[in-house]
Amino acid sequence: MKGVFICIEGLDGSGKSTQAKLLTKKLCKAGYPAVFTAEPSQGKIGKFIRKRLFEQERLPPTVEALLFAADRIEHVQTIIIPALEEGKIVISDRYVHSSFTYQGSAGLDLSWIEAINANAKTPDLSLFIDVTPEVVLERLKRKKSVMENLPNQLRVYEIYQKYVTRGELRRVNGAKGKNEVLDALYAEVVCFLKTVKP
Ligand code: TMP
């Protein structure tokens, strides 16, 4: 497999989706074969999950975790692997760490969430756009999903920090301006690409 698999993580409202798309464009403009994708995916399970996210109540946490893991397997098989086989740089807006943090925030055992995601392809690089829960909730003007309340975002944030400390996520300061955050993400990615593609 010739491609490179990069994931962008962060709280809802951290600017993650906008930044992941801008990063893909910036890489393409610089001549890198980058493609954008996201989770929940555009597949059947992903669409079902998105619909449920705006309903009144969260699904039982174990069901939620299994649905996201199932969507991920489909996403990997139908989108990510084929793109990597074509030598693309795949930029995914959310991936396994979203399950560890969001489903972990519902009280599930992290090792169980990791186990049900063990067959999902390991990313080459995962970046965490760090914006605090208080700031993101202030920023979110849209209709909030079942995930977007302060106590939940605080728990999610805390678990993200755990993975930053473990070295699985590289932290990028998301509190800066849009262009500065993009430049920081771009610099991380280009620096990483140099290590894998000399
Ligand atoms: P989005 O706002 O980035 O489109 O993501 C939709 C929501 O789905 C967001 O609140 C985080 C949540 N989510 C999980 O709870 N677990 C997961 O594994 C993924 C990929 C997303």
Q: Which residues contact 90 (CB under 8 A, 6 or more apart)?
A: 3, 4, 5, 6, 34, 35, 37, 79, 80, 83, 84
Quick one: pLDDT at residue 96? 98
Q: For residue 108, how far is its CA from the centre of ligand 1 (angstroms)?
A: 16
pLDDT at 145: 75
pLDDT computed for residue 55 by the predictor: 81
- Reported confidence tier of residue 197, pLDDT bands at 50, 70, 90: low
CA-closest residue to ligand 1 atom 2 = 12
DSSP letter at 60? P
* Nearest alpha carbon, ligand 1 atom 19: 98
pLDDT attached to residue 142: 65
Residue (of 19, 14, 15) closest to 188 by Cα position: 19
pLDDT on residue 167: 97
CA atoms within a 13 Å half-sphere pointing along the CA-CB vector of 120? 27
How far is 115 from 122, CA to CA, in rounded Å?
Answer: 13
pLDDT (0 to 100) of residue 1: 58
Judged against a pLDDT cut of 80, whether residue 60 lies above it is answered with: yes
Give the total residue count for the chain.
198
Q: What is the mean pLDDT of residues 1-9?
A: 92
pLDDT of residue 198: 53
Residues 189-198, mean pLDDT to the nearest whole number: 87
Q: What is the pLDDT of residues 103-145, one digit of tens each?
A: 999 999 999 999 999 999 999 999 999 999 988 888 876 666 7
Average of per-residue pLDDT across 159-169: 98
Q: List the structure tokens of 161.
A: 């920090």
Name the average pLDDT for the chain. Answer: 94
- Test site for ligand 1: of 41, 101, 102, most ligand atoms within 8 A of the Cβ: 102
| Residue 96 CA, closest ligand 1 atom number | 18
Classify burial at 5, counting beta carbons within 10 Å of its beta carbon; exposed 0-12, middle 13-18, buried 19 or more.
buried
0.75 surpassed by pTM: yes
pLDDT value of residue 158: 97
> 81-85, 141-145, 192-196: which range is least confident on average?
141-145
Question: Strands 125-130 and 170-173, how do they pair?
Answer: parallel
- Residues 194 and 190: their CA atoms lie apart, in Å, by 6
